[in-house]
Amino acid sequence: MEELKIELKEKIIEALNLEDMSIEDIKDTDVLFDEGLGLDSIDALELIIILDKDYGIKLTDSKDGKKIFQSIETMAQYITDHRTK
């Protein structure tokens, strides 16, 4: 799971153009939206695409997204439990 967390941080930095950040800047439990990393609704769409494209997970209920995208920790856990690739 530690490897997956690092992979997720790299993907997020690349997909969201967080150029000034490195994987060390994102803690596993950091809040990703609002007061945390400051991600917005467009970034949420990018995260949904990452789940679909790279891990074969399709989110159908937007309420799930709130829980899953809380932090790197919650994302990694969800991917581990539900990935199809």
Partner 1 sequence: MEVTPPFFLKNALQMKNNIIHYCNIKNNEVYLDGKKLYTGAEEDFLSFIKGVYKSFGLDYPKFYKMDTLCKLAIASSSILLNGINKEIDPNMAILLSNRSACIDVDIKHQESISQGEGSYASPANFVYTLPNIALGEISIKYKLRSENSFFIFEGFNPEFLIEYGNSLTQLGKSSSVLCGWVEVIENEYNAFMFIIKPEKGIELTKENLEKLI
Which stretches of the chain bind partner 1, using CB under 8 A? 15-20, 38, 42-43, 45-46, 49, 52-53
Considering the complex, what minimum distance in angstroms separates the CB of residue 17 from partner 1? 5
76/79 Cα distance (integer angstroms): 5
Give 1 or 45: the residue with its C-beta nearer to partner 1: 45
Considering the complex, what minimum distance in angstroms separates the CB of residue 65 from partner 1? 14
Considering the complex, what minimum distance in angstroms separates the CB of residue 41 from partner 1? 9
52/12 Cα distance (integer angstroms): 14
Give 20 or 61: the residue with its C-beta nearer to partner 1: 20
Give 1 or 83: the residue with its C-beta nearer to partner 1: 83
* Paired strand residues for 33: 39
The answer to whether 44 and 65 are in contact (CB under 8 A) is: yes
Q: Count CB-CB contacts under 10 A for residue 85.
A: 7
